[in-house]
Structure 1
Amino acid sequence: MMSMRIGRLMGSVVVALVVGFSSPAMAAQEPAVSAKVAYVIDSVGTVHFGKRETKRVPVASLVKIMTAYVVLQEARPGDTVKVTATDVTYAARGGAATAGLRKGERFTVRDLLYALMLPSGADAANALARHYGPGKTAFVAKMNRTARALGLTDTRYTNADGMPTPANGGYSTAVDQAKLAQHALENDLFTTVVGTRTHKVAKTAVHRAHTWRNTNKLLSRADGVLGVKTGYTNAAGHCLLFAGERDGVRIVGVLLGESKDERRFSTAERLLDHAGGQLALG
């Protein structure tokens, strides 16, 4: 009888030790995320983190990822687009980030994609949308058709730049944005653009010299980072869609509704490391 009691006691101790050891370790591995919405998935389909990932929310300038994606379906990188006064005044009047484009300048689509994705130029977004709609209304319709074709069932676009609209505002989810990024990163030019820290265009007869710097600080803070896009409006908060590679596997993450600019980058770095650690464990 005594030996049976001792056996039961030892079994309980072993279970307690196992539970006590594994649970805190597992909890410690998952980073704290203050953003309202978050999601991390890899190219194999493993979900490494989720927080309200299917909630419909505004995504600010992450909208420009779809703008670039639609343009890349129709345009050739060497095609040229002329900037109009409307492109410039729209961005300036709305208080949006701009690439400093001027009326009458002409750029290749390749250069306008850098202007769109690095400094998050609303002027570049509107120039591209107007040209490849043709017209902004037609272009937004293309964005929404493309979203449906890609299976982004919880996404709706109302413009090409992500600025708030007075009524019927656009929205998406972290799951949809991650899915979109996975498709967009299949395009080599897109991947090159979003992974570039600084892009310069020399002065020519049709445009001034420009230097555009990437707003994505993660590119200089972690190894293997591929991009992708930052965003901010009062309604959306600080947003970040990021991608990186760990152990040969592509990881895509989304942070929406972060209250602090800097924290989205440090959180993204931790989430990439977290996903990489899980991949290493198999």
Structure 2
Amino acid sequence: MNLFVFGLGFSARRFAESRRDRFDAVRATVTEPDKARALSAETGFTVRVFGPDGADPDIAAELADTDALLVSVPPDAEGDPVLRTYRAAIADSRIGWIGYLSTIGVYGDHGGAWIDEATAPAPLSVRSKLRLAVETAWLDLGRETGKAVQVFRLSGIYGPGRNPIVKLREGRSQRIVKAGQVFNRIHIDDIAATLAASIDRPRAGAVYNVTDDEPAPPQVVTEYAARIAGLPLPPEIDFETADLSPMARSFYGENKRVRNRLIREELGVTLTFPTYREGLAALKDQG
């Protein structure tokens, strides 16, 4: 089985590297030539350029030689660049499994209530509205071609090198408090396990929430990270006066508790890191 990954970023790379024994060949894209060369050397994958400045001409032929396709490229203002460029090549290929990495942001704000995959999307931000439109476009391709397209809505992603402990060590952490606010999270190893399980049990048109079991206030997670890593705890900052980018501030405008029952019951996934506690405990010595 050959895997092609559009967008070899944090989560997609972890999946491809951790499951490399499953694939005869792994091919992937990034947006810059220097990064493509570096990742080819680091991973042993064939990494090509696909981005605003153009696409490697070998990508189309490699798609024809692909069995599983993972798409981890964000939308642009015009929609999905992968579908815009390669829709026909994908439709005409032998690709049988397609995974699209999306976000739980498509659900919008639910005032802290529990939601699941049956909850109607109601995105608030422009980026989440674009995500929902691209989800629909990929699912439409699946219906039209008979290919098993699955959408994976990810919560806040963390893992080695990208987590609250690293932010504390680098002095980038803020302990922001907003009454009643909670977020779900997901460790990249649990994302990888979910994708692998889906390849084993494809279901055309499936939508999965890929998230942990325990939504929690962000300041509580920061406090736990500081305690187990023996690091100073930054002072509390009220959300209203916090120095946040517009994008970071927009995340606090969405408050929900997300259920993950479907990945467990349908795909048989058992989370290695069911809460932030297990995830951060495993990361405290490695960053």
TM-score by length of 2: 0.26
The structure with the largest helix share of the pair is: 1
**Higher RCO, 1 vs 2 (CA within 8 Å, ≥6 residues apart):** 1
TM-score by length of 1: 0.26
Larger radius of gyration: 1
